Chain A
Amino acid sequence: MAKVIVMTSGKGGVGKTTSSAAFATGLALRGFKTVVIDFDVGLRNLDLIMGCERRVVFDFVNVINGEAKLNQALIKDKRVENLYILPTSQTRDKDALTKEGVEKILDELRKDFDYILCDSPAGIEKGALMALYFADHAIIVTNPEVSSVRDSDRILGVLASKSRRAELNQEPVQEHLLLTRYDPERVERGDMLKVDDVLEILAIPLLGVVPESTAVLRASNIGMPVTLDEKSNANQAYTDAVARFLGDTVEHRFMKPEKKGFFERFLRRTA
């Protein structure tokens, strides 16, 4: 049975698109046929992060409106087997997505894919509601920072009341916390919320901690999901998170500052 996952956060700019690209790539690398859908109508970005922006012909809204077939709009990734992207439209029409339209496409994708990952726009308005409505799993992307944590709490409330599972009184959407842009050194200094603080407040299971990493910007600049950047710690963090999602037991890492040599520490102090 295909599973629908939403990557959501409430707050903008916390790393949903980065995480969607990385997570979808990770699932495909594990052999699951995966499609990642950009729900951010009007602000298409997933195509750039996935590096397929020059291959977009038709989009999600074209398919909903019957202007294109689903397989015409799906873009097959050139690097990873089993990975597909469904780009969003650049239209300014906020009502371009309808529940019926989205449902029709998801039902069609379900027949063919193992995982359908929805990259949600920020906010708790229509676009975000559409992205989460049909979800079986929700990955809550949160930064260790007060407004992000508060907005995550709100989106958890929305999931519990406005998702299809909630409306139909089915088993609730399964929630997972993905704490990103974590800086263990600042945590050590007492300047940043700890993993445990965020967990205590939000009270949902921890899927992974992704450290603040220069590899993320580098990867986005060249249109490569960070999961393909072999050496980066962000890649390892996302790969671990995917493994946990699939049921593997993997110890959490990147929660403590990296051990630094004397020389490096000296440089940092004088910098």
Chain B
Amino acid sequence: MSIFNFFRPPPRKSVAEEAKERLQIVLAHERAAGSSPDYLPILQRELLAVIAKYVQIDEKKVEVSFERGGDYSTLEVNIELPPPSNDKAARARGTGPVTGGDAKKPPAAAAKRA
């Protein structure tokens, strides 16, 4: 060690160490997922369908991000809701109430889903 090292910032992870960590994380996920289809697109579609039952949403104002971590992963869904005035207008037109819908469906449909 030369005296110059004294003034250097504390040693950081080497590039190779970082490469190894990144590989371990991504491979752990890929191995677990195997060849099964990625459920994220379906999850996103179904989530939006549920929310759309209650509020009007603009598909372009939806952001979905997914981040894999070593110990846990996070799924972040960001939906920009319309301003309150729109909401009122919707209710005035009679599209607001959330009753009806599912409740009126014949029991056969529910049985099929189960």
Cβ < 8 Å to A, chain B residues 21-38: 22-24, 26-27, 30-31, 34-35
User: Contact between B23 and A146 (Cβ–Cβ < 8 Å)?
Assistant: yes
Q: What 1/0 flags go to A111-132 for Cβ under 8 Å of B?
A: 0000000000000000000000
User: Contact between A150 and B23 (Cβ–Cβ < 8 Å)?
Assistant: yes
CB-CB < 8 A to B31: which residues of A?
153, 157
Q: Which of B15, B17, B23 contacts A201 (CB 8 A)?
A: B23
User: Contact between B30 and A153 (Cβ–Cβ < 8 Å)?
Assistant: yes
Range for the number of chain A residues in contact with chain B: 10 to 19
User: Contact between B16 and A153 (Cβ–Cβ < 8 Å)?
Assistant: no
Range for the number of chain B residues in contact with chain A: 10 to 19
Q: A191's closest neighbor in chain B, by CB?
A: B15
CB-CB < 8 A to A157: which residues of B?
31, 34-35
Q: Does A194 contact B (CB under 8 A)?
A: yes
Chain B binding surface, main DSSP class: helix
Q: Which of B15, B27, B35 contacts A190 (CB 8 A)?
A: B15
Docked complex Cα distance between A266 and B39 (Å): 57
Q: Which of A149, A161, A192 contacts B23 (CB 8 A)?
A: A149
> Chain B residues in contact with chain A, CB under 8 A?
14-17, 19-20, 22-24, 26-27, 30-31, 34-35
What 15 additional pairs, Cβ within 8 angstroms, besides A153-B27, A193-B19, A201-B20?
A154-B30, A157-B31, A157-B35, A187-B16, A190-B14, A190-B17, A191-B15, A192-B15, A193-B16, A193-B20, A194-B16, A197-B16, A197-B20, A201-B24, A201-B27
